[in-house]
Chains A and B, each alone.
Chain A
Amino acid sequence: MPEARFALFGRFRRTHEFWLLIVILALCASLGLANAQFLSMQNLFDLLTSYAFVGILALGLLVVLIAGGIDISFTATASVAQYVTLSVANAYGANWISVFAIAIGIGGALGALNAIFIQKLRIPSIIVSIATLNIFYGLLIFFTGGKYIYSLPDWFATGIFWFEFEWGKDSSYGVNLQILALAVSFLFTWLLLNRTNIGRQIYAMGGNADAAQRLGFHIFGLNMLVYCYMGVMAGIASLIQAQLAQSVAPTVLVGKELDVVAAVVLGGASLMGGVGTVLGTFLGLALLAILQNGIILLGVSSYWSPFFVGLVILISVSATAWSQRERRPRSAGP
């Protein structure tokens, strides 16, 4: 049905994601012209690997934002999960399955704690998560004294390298732990949000919580799931970050929250709830990565990086607000 496909494209053309895609393509083209290295296979794999941590967290945050909440405690959750999991692995021995199980368990439990405060006591999520960020991080620093872990189990330090292939001269590429985790997280989150009734209930609840309650949705259960999902994503992200860094540093993750928020917001998710897509988050992550990477490749001081990220966010949200204002009829009232 060419007509239906046409209509589908017409609808896509009006979405935030479409404009994001245009901007990304334009940025890629100009950066590619400015520096041939930018469009190389090597750079692509490097970017995917180094932004997997932010990307996985962004997916967790996307789900929270869609549900109408917010969580910024995830970096502290990740720090705790990372430290505890790898300390256990060093002390008692472990394998891939058990380290992921421990990290996911810790992340989920800390997420559940957030959900209980937010839902049972009706405290705004931003306040709860600011508090828990500080509590989790404070306890971690107190008990560890801020000490790094440099020795990781051999199998963990080695990581994985799947689907190896040759590209160009003497270079081989493959799927590492970071790229695999990123891909699985994207696929899983997409399935959750678009292919399960629970995902659709999360969208509905974010759009109109009162109506969701009247229809008989289990509001507490949905919120519990959402904040646990954020925690689980933090647990997974923490392990792949440790594997990439080849160390556990309790102090380096906290402070990266705003990169994650930037990726999700650039991707079109609304802080008011109910709005946001997995595709948008991917594109937001891509834009963030390309911007930060492009600045380095262009030889601009990386101190400018936050400036440009901020500028792009401001332009992006202004453009969205502007287009919504234009779409409204002229005499919409005061």
Chain B
Amino acid sequence: MIYAPLRDEPLAIFLEMSGISKRFGGVHALRDVDLTLEVGEVHCLVGENGSGKSTLIKIISGVEAPEPGGRIAISGKAYPKLNPVYSTHCGIQVIYQDLSLFPNLTVLENIAMAHHLGGVHSVNWASMRATAMATMAKVGIELDPDARVSDLTIAGRQLVAICRALAADAKLLIMDEPTASLTRHEVNALIKLVSDLKRSGICVVFVSHRLDEVLEIAERVTVLRDGAKVGTFAAATIDGRKLSHLMTGKAFEYRKQARDLAPGAIVLEVQGLGRDGDYDDVSLQLRAGEVVGLTGLLGSGRTELALSLFGMNPPDRGTIALDGSRIALNTNADAIHRGIAYVSEDRLTLGLILDQSITANVTLTVLQRLADAFGLISARARQSHVAQWIAELGIKATNPENPVKTLSGGNQQRVVLAKWMATKPRVLILDSPTVGVDIGAKDGIYEIIRRLAREGVAVLMISDEIPEVLYHSHRVLVMHEGRLTTDVAAADTSEDALRQAVNA
């Protein structure tokens, strides 16, 4: 890899904004925000949903214009406002969370897509290939240029998105939630890549929910809350707890979970469970009233195991017993019928029907129970069912007939939980229940999980985040390369010990 030599002179300022405000109707999305980005720095922008992060990015990328009175200067040149063309011309590139790639086209064509812009002209495939190869070589990425993007992993696609931004001569790279669907190994690779970019003088702005990563990667952190800037801090001077305090204005103190009750009877018992290529020799017990945390790298077999317990990935060997009697789970209908519920990680595509109403989503799992003798469902039965769950889980919704997509991440997750809790499950499997949920709202989700356990449900909570499983479970399981390697009471372990078990 060849980079420009490290420069000794003080960092120059790439972008300077001051007095930036933005209103949408009567709502102040941003109030008098200042932001300075230096050449070659890694800067994190954090804040809860609705804090103004996205609006600020849209102003930088020229999609939205700020209210008059704000000042924006890029490389010392002042602009009253930007538009997408100026902003791209100045070297500002945004990588959105969905990556905005073209899955049907090759790596090569995605990276060199800018060649297709402009008036009608013939395609110079040779020069596009040269651009793509040079860009990948510059950052030391090896991908088959002729592979279709839809055949790549999420991490591979992200590299393509980064290369596309670099090929467009990015000087400021803004990445929205770049680590949301990456495994820990992939996150490490990304962090290394970002520090390489920084050395070649590119300013990288991360927008992230994951505070530990924010602190690992950033030099400076700007915190927004309710549209106003709380401050910009050197990453070395703050920790995760302080950061969540700054973001929410509330203090969070996590302790390990003391049991509210003595663990109840064994509800689900798994012995010697194995499935070729996924996991093997897994034995575990879930007790009533217990929250069991399950962690491990992506590909460690944890999701595959959970799906087997939900009847969607039948095991090749071993036994599953519910209340002491052996059961076969060949379809998820078997599992649901026996009181096992599964809340998928990907609530947007698998857990919810986003365009349908809260009512429709919450009643989906209990339609048979709501039906009367003629098999018909009265509007009143639906409404009272939904009203009960909205109250019980504290779902913030102006009208239960609004589509679910109008809710915030935390409230969407509550709708998914309500949908499954309505089935009165004995065993509840939660896959990454707080992904994409704000810190403030996370606490509410944990509270619901604790309450379920108190009511006697056996909860299996899968998560990437070690603090989450440590502080919100009674017992912690770790899977590594398809085997269950750790089974320990939360009180008897630590973050470091678990981290070692996960990455062993």
Chain A residues near B (Cβ < 8 Å): 11, 194-201, 203-204, 206-208, 210-212, 214-217, 273-275, 330-331, 333-334
Contact = CB atoms under 8 A, between A and B. Distances in A.
B146 interface: yes
Contacts of B121: 196-197
Nearest to A191: B122
B100 A197 contact: no
30 contacts: A194-B123, A196-B120, A197-B115, A197-B116, A197-B120, A197-B121, A197-B122, A197-B123, A200-B123, A203-B102, A207-B103, A207-B104, A208-B101, A208-B103, A210-B98, A211-B100, A211-B102, A214-B96, A215-B114, A215-B117, A216-B84, A216-B85, A216-B117, A274-B105, A330-B278, A331-B275, A331-B278, A331-B303, A331-B304, A333-B344
Interface of B: 84-85, 88, 96, 98, 100-105, 109, 113-118, 120-123, 146, 275-278, 303-304, 307, 312-313, 332, 344, 350
A290 to B, nearest CB: 28
B464 to A, nearest CB: 15
A310 B418 CA distance: 45
Given A207-B105, A216-B85, A334-B307, A200 B350 contact: no
A196 B123 contact: yes
A207 B102 contact: yes
Given A196-B121, A196-B122, A203-B102, 16 more contacts: A194-B123, A196-B123, A197-B123, A199-B123, A204-B109, A204-B116, A210-B100, A211-B98, A212-B102, A214-B96, A216-B85, A330-B276, A331-B275, A331-B303, A333-B303, A333-B307
B292 to A, nearest CB: 21
Contacts of B307: 331, 333-334
A216 B118 CA distance: 9
Given A204-B102, A331-B304, A11 B146 contact: yes
B344 A334 contact: yes
A274 B104 contact: yes
Interchain residue pairs A-B with the least CB separation, the first 8: A274-B104, A211-B100, A207-B104, A207-B102, A197-B116, A331-B304, A204-B102, A200-B116
Contacts of B101: 208, 211
Nearest to A274: B104
Contact of A206 (B96, B104, B275, B278): B104
Given A197-B115, A197-B116, A331-B313, A204 B122 contact: no
Contacts of B84: 216
Contacts of A331: 275, 277-278, 303-304, 307, 313
Contacts of A214: 96, 100
A11 B104 CA distance: 15
A253 B368 CA distance: 50
B116 A208 contact: no
A80 B116 CA distance: 36
Given A331-B277, A331-B278, A203 B105 contact: yes
Nearest to B115: A197
Given A331-B304, A331-B313, A201 B102 contact: no
B412 to A, nearest CB: 18
Given A214-B96, A216-B84, A208 B122 contact: no
For the residues of A in contact with B, the DSSP-based class is helix
Contact of B122 (A195, A201, A216): A195
B211 to A, nearest CB: 27
A211 B105 CA distance: 13
Nearest to A334: B312
Nearest to A213: B100
A208 B277 contact: no
B479 to A, nearest CB: 13
A203 B103 CA distance: 10
Nearest to B96: A214
B172 to A, nearest CB: 16
A197 B114 CA distance: 10
Contacts of A211: 98, 100-102
Contacts of A207: 102-105
Nearest to B312: A334
Nearest to B164: A215
B120 A204 contact: no
A273 B103 CA distance: 11
A201 to B, nearest CB: 5
A204 B344 contact: no
Contacts of B350: 334
A290 B484 CA distance: 58
Given A204-B105, A215-B113, A216-B85, A198 B120 contact: yes
Contacts of A204: 102, 105, 109, 113, 116
A206 B84 CA distance: 22
A215 to B, nearest CB: 6
Nearest to B299: A331
A254 B98 CA distance: 42
B118 to A, nearest CB: 7
A11 B120 CA distance: 30
Given A204-B102, A274-B102, A197 B277 contact: no
Contacts of A216: 84-85, 88, 117
Nearest to B63: A214
A215 B114 CA distance: 8
Given A215-B113, A334-B344, A334-B350, A197 B118 contact: yes
Nearest to B279: A331
A167 B299 CA distance: 64
Contacts of B313: 331
Contacts of A215: 100, 113-114, 117
B303 to A, nearest CB: 6
Nearest to B103: A207
A333 B346 CA distance: 10
B91 to A, nearest CB: 16
A198 B103 CA distance: 18
Contacts of A217: 117
A196 B114 CA distance: 13
A167 to B, nearest CB: 37
Given A197-B115, A215-B113, A333-B307, A208 B100 contact: yes
A301 B105 CA distance: 43
A206 B332 CA distance: 35
Contacts of A275: 104
Nearest to A276: B104
Contacts of B312: 334
Contacts of A195: 122-123
A11 B332 CA distance: 38
